[in-house]
Amino acid sequence: MEKEIAQTTELNLVEKEDNKKTNIPLILGIIFISLILIIFIVFLGVTAFISSTDKIITGIKIKGVDVSGLTKEGAITRITDDFNKNLPTNVTLIHGEYETQLNMNDMGVNFNIEKLVDEAYQEGRSGNIFSNMFTILGTMVSPKNIGLDISINNEQTTNLLNDISTKLPDTVVQSSYYVDGDNLIITKGKTGVVVDTESTINNIKNKINDLSYTNNKVELITVSKEPDSIDLNKIHSEIYKDPVDAYYTTNPYVVHPHENGVDFNISIEEAQAMLNEEKDEYTIPLKYTAPNVTTNMIGKEAFPDLLAKYSTRYSASNKDRTTNLKLAAGKIDGTVLMPGETFSYNTVVGERTIEAGYKEAAMYQDGKVVDGLGGGICQISTTLYNAALYANLEIVDRSNHMFIPSYSDAGRDATVVYGAIDFKFKNSRNYPVKIMFSVSGGVAKCEIYGLKENPDYDVEISSKITQRTSTSIKSVTYKTVRQNGQVISSEIINRDTYKRQ
């Protein structure tokens, strides 16, 4: 009996030991699960806390720039500062040996920094609490780098690339034309290349997105292109013009200058036949048609006010010289200058030739007074010069004589030599002016008509000799402008040196 009790006790002890051994893993498992639950709960709490803050989670970068722990505003500032500091503002484009640059702003490049920062901020916030927790844990272990997604203004960049296309050394050359006197010159185009704008824009965007443009040049993508065929009908329509008569209106005062008509001097069929020949350049003759009323035919009524007049005296007994004066003055008489237009004496009067009717008369040449073709016409340029001064027109080009002429004081003359020395002035007024010239009875008179300003200017011209030596005479000329009696300006307009005769 005692033996059985002992055996039973022993068995109970063994069972208890076995039970203890069996409970250890269970306990450990419970502890482990409890710890996991605690950690999980902690992370859930941390996740909830992080989601409630205004900071970007740990382990987030935007194109290599760490924005962890920053607010949106702070991240935008950091990214903007980093990009401004480290990224060039230009993209270098190449095509063979040709190289140029495009500015980021000109292309409308936008790094969309606010969008990138918002994407960074949404990491760990955009899902449910569990997915957000795993995102936060994941970026702690393995940081996330958000790439760029730039935008570019396609229209602006296309325009820039089209402009670059015309500057490539091997660009396609389109046919062109220009007018040279009585001829229309058409040049044939040549095959070349043009920039493939769509492909090049994509190439630029990719290079900017991966920032490889910072250390490398971007290749311009080009395609071969044939020049457009010569459109003769289009060219004809562009140059053809009917003559237009000059006319004027009085309320308001406006002078509308005449326009000459222009047309081919051969038929379209004849011109087209010329283009069928294999040539680099084609010449098509033109014809001009004058209107019934030219600008200089408009009467004084269109130019109601006498702005200025000036006259010089000549010897009417010198018939050859008088002829020259009348020829030059006749070319100028009736000339109308539109606002901003420049008068050129040599252009208007033309070359002084025998065919034009000019005679031999006294003139200065090589420091001597000799007979020369067109002698005396500098008196006309001098008369016109003074009238232009008093009309308050802008003097563009004026030269004094070698000697003081008999018909002018020092500093008040204007010499001309065809092909060498010109006299020019500009209509700097707001209304057209008309120049009237007469040579008669020993007086060469120039009058300039137009429309007076309200109030108009009064001009005073004066000159004086400042120095006389045995070989030269020096002078200075002043121009004073008044309005309502008040001096508006006063200036020296000429400092001249003459030889003594």
Question: How many domains does the structure of the chain reveal?
Answer: 3
Decide which of 289, 309, 336 is a domain's last residue: 289
> pLDDT over 90 for what percent of the chain?
59
pLDDT at 369 over 60: no
Span of 193-197, 251-255, 337-341 with lowest mean pLDDT = 251-255
Considering the domain architecture, whether residues 356 and 245 belong to the same structural domain is answered as no
The predicted structure's pLDDT at residue 69: 86
Considering the domain architecture, whether residues 421 and 477 belong to the same structural domain is answered as yes
Considering the domain architecture, whether residues 346 and 479 belong to the same structural domain is answered as yes
Q: Examine residue 315 and state whether it is found in any structural domain, yes or no.
A: yes
Q: Examine residue 335 and state whether it is found in any structural domain, yes or no.
A: yes
pLDDT at 36 over 70: no
Span of 24-33, 294-303, 404-413 with lowest mean pLDDT = 24-33
The predicted structure's pLDDT at residue 457: 84
Angle at which helix 197-209 crosses helix 154-165, to 10 degrees, equals: 120
What DSSP assignment string belongs to 273-295? HHHTS--SEEEEEEEEE--SS-G
pLDDT confidence bin for 367, thresholds 50/70/90 = low
Greater pLDDT, 130 or 327: 327
Considering the domain architecture, whether residues 349 and 425 belong to the same structural domain is answered as yes
Considering the domain architecture, whether residues 424 and 369 belong to the same structural domain is answered as yes
Considering the domain architecture, whether residues 380 and 493 belong to the same structural domain is answered as yes
pLDDT at 99 over 70: yes
Q: Examine residue 56 and state whether it is found in any structural domain, yes or no.
A: no
**Average pLDDT, integer, range 111-140:** 82
* Tokens standing for residue 412: 């008040």
pLDDT at 197 over 70: yes
pLDDT tens digits, 212-248:
888 889 999 999 999 999 999 999 999 999 999 989 8
Considering the domain architecture, whether residues 281 and 361 belong to the same structural domain is answered as no
Tell me what the pLDDT averaged over the chain comes to.
Answer: 87
Q: Examine residue 255 and state whether it is found in any structural domain, yes or no.
A: yes
Considering the domain architecture, whether residues 464 and 327 belong to the same structural domain is answered as yes
Considering the domain architecture, whether residues 311 and 354 belong to the same structural domain is answered as yes
Considering the domain architecture, whether residues 462 and 395 belong to the same structural domain is answered as yes
- pTM for the full model? 0.57
Span of 128-132, 365-369, 437-441, 497-501 with lowest mean pLDDT = 365-369
- E strands, 167-320, are 176-180, 183-187, 192-195, 218-219, 222-225, 247-250, 253-256, 261-264, 281-289, 305-313
pLDDT at 162 over 90: yes
Q: Examine residue 471 and state whether it is found in any structural domain, yes or no.
A: yes
Considering the domain architecture, whether residues 406 and 303 belong to the same structural domain is answered as yes
Considering the domain architecture, whether residues 339 and 483 belong to the same structural domain is answered as yes
Greater pLDDT, 369 or 215: 215
Q: Which residue range forms the structural domain that includes residue 244?
A: 232-289
